[in-house]
Structure 1
Amino acid sequence: MSKFQELINGNKPVLVDFFSSIAGSGRSRDPLLNELKTEMGEKARIVRVNVDNNKHAAFTYGVNGVPTFILFKSGQVQWKHFGKTAKDEVSAILNQFV
């Protein structure tokens, strides 16, 4: 099993930010992700997946555009969002699953 599969199959919620360095969406979300990491601490994991380098993951999870957030818990997709979103919205979703 890949490290990614092990991560999303765990009991801890995992927020995955699918981004593209080509589209330029990657850096604009850094402050939001850093704030969420600080807020969540050890209660949740937040990871980034570059779809340019991980086309299989993007295909597997139906990522048709970037930026896309997907929240996993115990291997199941709990929430999926395409496009920009506010930190408060993402935080509220994460807190439902911690």
Structure 2
Amino acid sequence: MSKFGALIDLEIPVLIDFFAEGDQASVAMNPVLREVAAALGDQVKVIKIDVEKNPDLAEALRVKGLPTLVVYKKGEMKWRQSGAQSVNSLTSVIQKFI
């Protein structure tokens, strides 16, 4: 969990995608996340966390639906949403915290 704390304690927004390999909605988010990362460059850090490999973290953060997308900045959760998102909606959300 301390490693997770180091990941989210950045000055820039950190977008975390909680996903599972076999989940269709999670897989569909991959190109969206790539586009968001490309559009915002070094203004955001995009991290994917597999809930099947990190069940304790998923449980601690009460991740139920997949994908679950969370934006952190300076260690504080700023936004959270379950379900697929579009490139435009995710980019707009993150830009609020840049």
Q: TM-score, normalised by structure 2?
A: 0.91
Normalising to structure 1: TM-score of the pair?
A: 0.91
Does the residue aligned with 2:24 lie in a helix, a strand or coil? Answer: coil
Q: 5+ unaligned residues in a row in structure 2: which ranges? A: none
Question: Equivalents in 2 of 1:88, 1:24: separation in Å?
Answer: 20
The alignment's C-alpha RMSD in Å is 1.4
1:44-63 map, 5 Å = 44-63=44-63
Report runs of 4+ in structure 1 exceeding 2 Å deviation.
1-4, 22-27
How many Å apart are 1:3 and its aligned residue?
Answer: 3.2
Of all paired residues, the percent bearing the same amino acid is 29
After superposition, residues 32-71 of structure 1 pair within 5 angstroms as 32-71=32-71
1:87 and 2:84 aligned: no
The answer to which of 8-17 and 21-30 deviates more is: 21-30
For 2:45, the aligned partner's letter is: R
Report the Cα distance in structure 1 between the residues aligned to 2:38 and 2:31, rounded to whole angstroms: 11
TM-superposed deviation, 1:41: 0.5
**Rounded Cα–Cα distance in structure 2 between residues aligned with 1:48 and 1:26:** 10
The alpha-carbon deviation at position 66 of structure 1 amounts to: 0.6
Quick one: which amino acid aligns to residue 42 of structure 2? E
Count of residues in Structure 1 that have an aligned counterpart in Structure 2 = 98
**1:30 counterpart residue number:** 30
Aligned counterparts of 2:40 and 2:28: Cα–Cα separation in 1 = 20
The residue type equivalent to 1:74 in the other structure is: K
